[in-house]
Structure 1
């Protein structure tokens, strides 16, 4: 990447809790932020009035990341504005699976796979081509700790995040020597915006805490970061258990989540 610090960063899904936190954290650090979401009105940042800290120039756009042509047009416009140093692939669908059925319906499954995995891969593909032509850059993929363990109340979501992590790890090797780096972020539960139905959310972090950790990891060139540490460590320990014991923990977790969601 040209230089040590990014000057132009693009963020998809910038209207969500984590996206907004990333904008707030990056605003004093970069010159330009190109941000997108499904609706421009979701990208209203009334709290970003300049204070003593320098605020980045903000360029909002309405973009459906599931539309490959619209996505390419937006990223091309971003690059024409200024060389793109980072893209944070944050747009995604989440939330627990609906109660009352063992498997998620085909429509929801297809939407999760399209946005969380296929659209994220396309963002990575387009951005990497542009960044190689510009001398380098960094692609930040927002995965999840569910990629390591699976969440009983969100199985398809967990599958898409596991796929995204595998893709990112593969691409980090494939892009070696091009100047383009990959950072894969595996956050746990956020304390805002991820508690639909009152489901159990242990070791939650705030969106701002998550955003700061992600930006630090990308700035230092790390390939992967998982947080918060207590939950990451617990998941690591769970992976060492025999399959029967892991299953018992999963069932207890799932049962507690469902009990809390009915309370």
Structure 2
């Protein structure tokens, strides 16, 4: 199934590295981008009022590359009223073709701790799962009324196998994947499609690269894969292929062996229990 190019795309969490990459990749494709982030400062430099490229984006000879108009807004997706107002404002600008549910929280669990702080756990569940589900619900209702569209849910490869360094994060992404697969079937025949993206590690600047990130890929590469999958009408895309294959292979192993390999793979030689001397 091939989906026509979107004219109007809304992106939540557009201030992060993947969000900004999605804006960059979609700007030459779409006519209008409505983007939001909890921190308006994170959207600095994205707003554009007309379809034209800057000098660094256009070839020296020939016409400038067409670029989408971009509207930015500070939105905390965990605030239901703010989310509804933002999506209503998006719709007033024009029919919404795609909604990319990208806003989310991440980060590892505290080193040496058996569990995560209850407040952080609640925040991860609220933003990564509850707010993502609400974005999907609101957008799907709008799209059904307007004749169709596509919702892109940004999950994670950790949804397939878990992630010992961030168990609550992995749980929220697994829940979002299950929700997306369920909604893809539930929305069949309505004109609204679902695409679930399962990216692996994204590469970061050298100053931030304090932990090993196997098979990592540039945010722009990831954004291209997401846009390509949504444009072709795919329900799910997992990348990079090398890491997706590794995750699939690990998933076939017994849980005890998988845990040992995963800890070594992530540079963690001992379990939390062993480091704390809790095993007898």
TM-score for the superposition, normalised by structure 1: 0.93
Distance 1:71 1:193 in 2: 31
Alignment pair present for 1:103 and 2:89: no
Distance 2:255 2:206 in 1: 28
Q: Which moved more, 1:244-253 or 1:139-148?
A: 244-253
> 1:140 — aligned with what?
152
Distance 2:246 2:206 in 1: 20
Q: Note if contact 2:136-2:151 (Cα within 8 Å) is conserved in structure 1.
A: yes
> 2:92 — aligned with what?
80
- Tell me, which stretches of 5 or more residues in structure 2 are unaligned? 48-52, 59-63, 271-280
Q: Note if contact 2:46-2:72 (Cα within 8 Å) is conserved in structure 1.
A: no
> 2:72 — aligned with what?
60
Q: Note closer, same or farther for the CA distance 1:103–1:197 as it changes in structure 2 (3 Å cut).
A: farther
Q: Note if contact 2:212-2:267 (Cα within 8 Å) is conserved in structure 1.
A: no
RMSD: 1.9
> 2:191 — aligned with what?
179
* SS of alignment partner, residue 196 of structure 2: strand
* SS of alignment partner, residue 198 of structure 1: coil
Q: Note if contact 1:32-1:58 (Cα within 8 Å) is conserved in structure 2.
A: yes
> 1:151 — aligned with what?
163
Alignment pair present for 1:215 and 2:227: yes
> 1:261 — aligned with what?
none
Q: Note closer, same or farther for the CA distance 1:195–1:94 as it changes in structure 2 (3 Å cut).
A: farther
Please report how far the alpha carbon of residue 201 of structure 1 lies from its aligned counterpart in structure 2 after TM superposition: 0.8
> 1:242 — aligned with what?
254
* SS of alignment partner, residue 178 of structure 1: coil
Length, aligned pairs only:
256
Distance 2:205 2:81 in 1: 29
> 2:5 — aligned with what?
5
Please report how far the alpha carbon of residue 249 of structure 1 lies from its aligned counterpart in structure 2 after TM superposition: 1.1
Larger helix proportion of the pair: 1
Alignment pair present for 1:31 and 2:43: no
Please report how far the alpha carbon of residue 5 of structure 1 lies from its aligned counterpart in structure 2 after TM superposition: 1.4
Q: Note closer, same or farther for the CA distance 1:216–1:118 as it changes in structure 2 (3 Å cut).
A: same
Q: Note closer, same or farther for the CA distance 1:130–1:257 as it changes in structure 2 (3 Å cut).
A: farther
Please report how far the alpha carbon of residue 46 of structure 1 lies from its aligned counterpart in structure 2 after TM superposition: 6.3
Distance 1:222 1:85 in 2: 16
Corresponding residue to 1:162 among 152, 170, 174? 174
Query: Which has the higher Rg, Structure 1 or Structure 2?
Result: 2
Q: Note if contact 1:95-1:194 (Cα within 8 Å) is conserved in structure 2.
A: no
Please report how far the alpha carbon of residue 95 of structure 1 lies from its aligned counterpart in structure 2 after TM superposition: 1.1
Distance 1:78 1:175 in 2: 22
Distance 2:215 2:68 in 1: 32
Please report how far the alpha carbon of residue 254 of structure 1 lies from its aligned counterpart in structure 2 after TM superposition: 4.8
